[in-house]
Structure 1
């Protein structure tokens, strides 16, 4: 962690973060402050769905994201999570002055901290008069914190620093915004549709009767989110594409087809719809309950695995960890009734 005039920069970051949180609109007060590209803004389509959000120094285009009440966020299949904090452009020289001077005037941070800040941003150690001689030629960068405050959210503790327009941030600044970081942030914004599967028989089935399971193609088309910092000309798109369905019958008294419970995509489809004349066939994707659910039901869990890829500025791209999303639906299983004559 860097120091400012011999003291930890943590106090500086904390004071700026507090002011940013207090000044941000309530709906987004949990994801950093305001500035040149950190200004919170959002746009909606004709249906009222939010398709573009500018927050945390990053613009998120959600127009190709999953929608609807059943849509949800992915859970990374590996021990992975997107950055808890990152650095991006935030202030012009004039904006930084308007941010810091009220803090100094309030005197709540103490004379020592105020003096350190004045030296750094006013007296030329290293910035003179908030770098106003470079107005229009760059921006002051600061850290942004993800709204979930994942572990490590406070690790971006560098004091506000200047970057000339067109130059990369200092090499020793970890988590400076980049296509790779934008891809990870876009991953966190992906929402995929719910995975209610179609069953035959539907809702109620019989003991020892194979139940066919399949997924409507229209419900599992690829979705994507693009994250960008237009001011820097950086962007990355994370795309989620379904690759498999896992079935958990909700009881040990059941068998799945295939036995692994994982139904792979075949010719663009997961499972096959049941049709008349196939009652004696083994379903390519399905479940067979071996015991009645009695007066209750079994919670059948259907989980889709989504493969995540990304592309970004300058031809960058690659794979990110697979993600999963599942939903539960109830299945009533009855004994087959027979009549002896």
Structure 2
């Protein structure tokens, strides 16, 4: 009897090791970074780069000449322009004003009201209106003084919009999920489940991309800082790293850094399986060419199904040619 029980236990362990040796994966469609919160519109500049910018652009609904059957194309002009050509909205000279056709710099301190630059006013402010000559890369500047009654119509491209454009260029993808026992295999109650993800540039990082418009650029770097595994049984496992890939030689033991044990079978669940969702937590830092910095958090998800059954010891005749299977799917 002891020999039969030992053989049954050995059969269970061998079956588990075989199941662990077959790992599962999950794939999902790539997700595009969301539109930033606020009143943003998609703008395509003359250098064929598109990005989300604050609604400070001029949209001309004039249809272009098209062939019969083709839809008219809406022309979107740059937010900042000089003589109809794209102009940097932000530079070391200040912020561009389309109405004044120059960069505006606030004078600090303001001149006394007796100064002719006030043009007899005592409200508003005096601004320096600065523009490059255009032939000597900014060595010579054209400066005049303007009085404005209120805030100028300067256009500022938020660097956060460029950060999102850089993130879009990363083409971040859902985590490449691996488990042991794998997808399509049957795990056992109270036995270890190993969890890990494959490391690639756009599923784990680090990954760096840049985006720019005339006068302003942003470089963003992203990396996964943790993966949250919602195991489908009400428990969530947070793994600081990618996890350890399982190998057959490791036998039946717990993962050293990312694993789980189920307490109940999955037979009562839809598809007779636990839905396991891995959520990669991305930390993305960015810096603009003007020295501004920021941080953006994003997530990517992938879901698989894991079937968990009970281990049923079976007493067998040690002289029998084959042993009965120790576990099977409940449905």
Matches within 5 A, 1:214-233: 214-218=196-200, 219-230=203-214, 233=215
Aligned to 1:323: 298
TM-score (norm 2): 0.50
Residue 289 of structure 1, aligned match among 256, 259, 262: 262
CA gap of 1:165–1:99, structure 2 versus 1, over 3 A, is farther
C-alpha distance in 1 between matches for 2:278 and 2:252:
23
C-alpha distance in 1 between matches for 2:88 and 2:208:
31
TM-score (norm 1): 0.49
Would you say 1:308 and 2:308 are equivalent positions? no
Task: Say which SS state the counterpart of residue 282 (structure 2) adopts.
Answer: strand
Would you say 1:279 and 2:252 are equivalent positions? yes
Give 1:86 shift.
4.0
Which is higher, the Rg of structure 1 or of structure 2?
A: 2
Give 1:311 shift.
1.8
C-alpha distance in 1 between matches for 2:85 and 2:238:
55
Matches within 5 A, 1:113-152: 135=83
Name stretches of at least 5 consecutive residues in structure 1 with no aligned partner.
1-29, 42-53, 59-82, 101-131, 142-159
Name stretches of at least 5 consecutive residues in structure 2 with no aligned partner.
1-39, 64-80, 90-96, 107-126, 128-150, 317-331
Give 1:226 shift.
2.1
C-alpha distance in 1 between matches for 2:41 and 2:244:
44
8 Å CA contact retained: 1:138, 1:162: no
Deviation track 1:89-133 (CA, whole Å, cap 9, x = no partner) reads x69xxxx8x969xxxxxxxxxxxxxxxxxxxxxxxxxxxxxxx9x
Task: Say which SS state the counterpart of residue 162 (structure 1) adopts.
Answer: coil
Give 1:238 shift.
2.1
Residue 85 of structure 1, aligned match among 29, 51, 54: 54
8 Å CA contact retained: 1:140, 1:163: no
Give 1:288 shift.
1.1
Matches within 5 A, 1:22-171: 31=41, 38-39=45-46, 41=48, 54-55=49-50, 58=51, 85-87=54-56, 135=83, 161-162=98-99, 164=101
CA gap of 1:175–1:222, structure 2 versus 1, over 3 A, is farther
Q: How many residues align?
A: 202
Residue 189 of structure 2, aligned match among 207, 210, 229: 207
C-alpha distance in 2 between matches for 1:310 and 1:290:
43
Deviation track 1:233-259 (CA, whole Å, cap 9, x = no partner) reads 21112222111111110123xx66xxx
Task: Say which SS state the counterpart of residue 182 (structure 1) adopts.
Answer: helix
C-alpha distance in 1 between matches for 2:295 and 2:305:
33
Give 1:331 shift.
0.7
Aligned to 1:176: 156
Give 1:39 shift.
4.6
CA gap of 1:318–1:292, structure 2 versus 1, over 3 A, is same
Give 1 or 2: higher helix fraction. 1
Provide the aligned C-alpha RMSD in A: 3.9
